[in-house]
Structure 1
Amino acid sequence: MLIVTHEMAFARDVSSKVIFLHKGLVKEEGTPEHMFTHPNSARFKQFLPNVR
């Protein structure tokens, strides 16, 4: 199943894999546990504080 959302808490709770897109390009992907605790891309790091 594919779900598109800006609700990061929901994505973290129900997903087995998260893909972060910026301007239509994949910037980061991985498990919710890894992405939300150890984000790699600069854009995802900027995005997270606004949605936690």
Structure 2
Amino acid sequence: MEAVARSDAQTTYRRLGGGTLPDEEVRRGYFRDDVPLATGEQLRLGVGQEVHK
């Protein structure tokens, strides 16, 4: 992961179908750690079904 200019992020976000890039406060809210590990879904680290094509 590397930092990019906001203009590059806006272009990529729009190209991927996201529309207008939300402001920084909204984007930071997407990364809140509000799910306790004990109650979150298990992380599967093995070979499995391909989900992104």
Q: TM-score range by the shorter chain?
A: under 0.3
- Larger RCO (CA under 8 A, 6+ residues apart): 1
Identify, as 1 or 2, the structure richer in strand. 1
Please, what TM-score do these two structures have when normalized by structure 1? 0.22
